[in-house]
Chains A and B, each alone.
Chain A
Amino acid sequence: MAGETRVAKAITPKSLSYAQGMPRHHLALFAAFLTIAVLAPFFLYPVFVMKVLCFALFACAFNLLLGFGGLLSFGHAAYFGSASYIAAHSAKVWGLTPELSILAGTVVAAFLGLIFGYLSIRRQGIYFAMVTLAFAQMVYFFALQAEFTGGEDGIQAVPRGELFGFISLEADRAIYWLVLAIVFFGILFLYRIVHSPFGQVLKAIRENEPRAVSLGYQVNRYKLATFVISATFAGLAGGTKALVFQLASLTDVHWAMSGEVVLMTLLGGMGTIFGPIVGATVIITMQNYLATFGAWVTIIQGVIFVIGVLAFREGIIGVLSRKIKKPL
């Protein structure tokens, strides 16, 4: 599977100058991302920006598994969605504070990731994708049938509550800073994982699995660890999203959601650091501003995706990275 996927090339480390443990241009881009995200709510509708942020984190979590682990999961909605439901239920029914609600959702997503991951990493390529999809469909039907999920209605009017029990998050401008902190540090942490000794082994497995085995690496354990981490951060994004929209619904666990995150990652550039952020931004912006076209959005999205795949197979950031000969 790893051999079939085109991944942006890593560039020789000595040609880059480092600061704070990362190449200077990465540091600059993270600073730019943070600056834009801090200024954005003053110019744009905060809920829209928060949606972009949540999906950026979701796509980055997915990209860890696909772009760096070489594993295509077609069921990541299961982790995003289950965390969304659990966070919404915790906040609304149990009255937990927002940070604990999100944590509860994230923990459940991690646990699901552990079980589903354990059962699916034994399969390769398309079979792996099918197994993950099957598990995600089970979660979907559970969400449809279970009592607490509210069926077609989902869980509505979820209170955003008070952070640590005393900072009200009801205003969009207030919760925005929490969302930005979660997403920014979440993405930074994913960046660190990719650039850790663990990440190095993970990339080696993606590059040449039999060789990694012959060097004594127990590849399935690394894959499982990656799967769980990816599911955890997908859950973190899903739980946060539930509080932002004050809603958990079937859309969050639907297979179309799994497809959307694949789309965002591929369009932005899988195996790049900043690609999924750009991909999520493009897709969410399109959905938002093209909403007046109704059902046509899906078709327009499809056309853009086809053009994207044909014209720049490595994704927007992947192509850019190749042009400037630096990993992005």
Chain B
Amino acid sequence: MAADAILTAVGLTKEFKGFVAVDDVNLSVERGSIHALIGPNGAGKTTCFNLLTKFLQPTRGKITYKGDDITSMASADIARLGLVRSFQISAVFPHFTALENVRIALQRKRGDSYDFWRSQTVLNQYNDRAAELLADVGLTEFAEVQAAELPYGRKRALEIATTLALDPEMLLLDEPMAGMAEADVERITALIKRIAANRTILMVEHNLSVVANLSNRITVLARGKVLAEGPYEEVSKDPRVIEAYIGAGHG
């Protein structure tokens, strides 16, 4: 285990009926690093994400975040601790404007919004900060556009802006580049690099050039198990990894 691990999973296992999706995974994410989780389709990467953020309940194993055991906590409570995830399918609020999307995250600063008797104009106090966050991801001109009408790459950018609005200590990004055009990939890569300056990031990503470019450390999953772990140069030369990706007999 790394000396300064912010998030660790020990013996993480998820069994579905007659099928082990994640099998005894040990993972340790160092504070301040960009850690990538890669592997062929069906390797259990997204399941792993769902377990770490408790969108799924692990069958066995223990998850600790900043030294605290979060294995039995609820998803919303984990988010409140500063461990915030994104989703593979762009997760925006489609009928909200881009500004409102970001604002709903900024609203969390008020604590719980159970005040149903108050006018929503109190939320206008977050408009400036929301505009700043949108500017950060290049969405200024789309502030008043409904999220549903944004092009795909912009939706992903909006999702990142919304996640950043919570000012999380650690981000879990599930395939941030999936389905993106090349120009968008560059923009989002630069953005992730910038936000990683004072945060920890764990990401699932298929685009290996992005992974090579961004991450300090890589964990390779295959069939629910950890196959290899280390820096990109090391892992990419590992014959087992090559075999898992390309198949036996081709490597």
Q: Which residues of A contact B (CB under 8 A)?
A: 7, 9-10, 12-15, 21, 189, 192-193, 195-201, 203-204, 207-208, 210-219, 221-222, 225, 229
Contacts and interface: CB of A to CB of B under 8 A. Distances in A.
Nearest to A21: B119
B146 to A, nearest CB: 7
A197 B122 contact: yes
Minimum-distance CB pairs A-B, first 4: A216-B79, A198-B116, A197-B113, A207-B93
B95 A207 contact: yes
A223 to B, nearest CB: 12
Contacts of B104: 200-201, 204, 212, 215
B87 to A, nearest CB: 7
Report the contact-size class of chain B (Cβ under 8 Å from the partner). 35 or more
B117 A193 contact: yes
Nearest to A225: B114
Interface in B29-87: 53, 55, 74-77, 79-80, 84-87
B113 A214 contact: no
Interface string B162-174: 1000100000000
Contacts of B115: 196-198
Contacts of B94: 207-208
Contacts of A208: 91-94
B107 A197 contact: yes
A6 to B, nearest CB: 11
B76 A12 contact: no
A200 B76 contact: no
B108 interface: yes
A9 B146 contact: yes
B55 A210 contact: yes
12 contacts: A7-B95, A9-B146, A10-B97, A13-B100, A14-B144, A15-B144, A200-B113, A201-B104, A207-B94, A211-B93, A213-B79, A214-B75
A70 to B, nearest CB: 12
A10 B53 contact: no
Contact of A13 (B92, B97, B117): B97
Contacts of A195: 119-120
Contact of A211 (B91, B114, B144): B91
B121 interface: yes
Nearest to B122: A197
B96 interface: yes
B17 interface: no
B162 A215 contact: yes
A11 B75 CA distance: 31
B203 to A, nearest CB: 15
B95 A12 contact: no
Given A198-B118, A207-B96, 7 more contacts: A7-B95, A10-B96, A193-B117, A199-B116, A208-B91, A210-B91, A229-B116
B110 interface: yes
Contacts of B116: 192-193, 196, 198-199, 225, 229
B119 A192 contact: yes
Contacts of A198: 113-116, 118
A197 B110 contact: yes
Contacts of B110: 197
Contacts of A203: 93, 95-96
A198 B110 CA distance: 11
A121 B118 CA distance: 25
B120 A216 contact: no
Given A197-B120, A214-B87, A229-B116, A204 B75 contact: no
A240 B91 CA distance: 43
Among A7, A13, A203, A211, residue most surrounded by chain B Cβ atoms (within 10 Å): A211
B113 A12 contact: no
Nearest to B113: A197
B96 A196 contact: no
A13 to B, nearest CB: 7
A210 B115 CA distance: 22
B97 A213 contact: no
B113 A201 contact: yes
A216 B166 contact: yes
Contacts of A207: 93-96
B144 A12 contact: yes
A9 B93 CA distance: 12
Contact of B120 (A14, A15, A199): A199
Contacts of B74: 218
Interface string B139-151: 0000011101000
A284 B120 CA distance: 33
A201 B94 CA distance: 14
Contact of B53 (A192, A196, A214, A219): A214
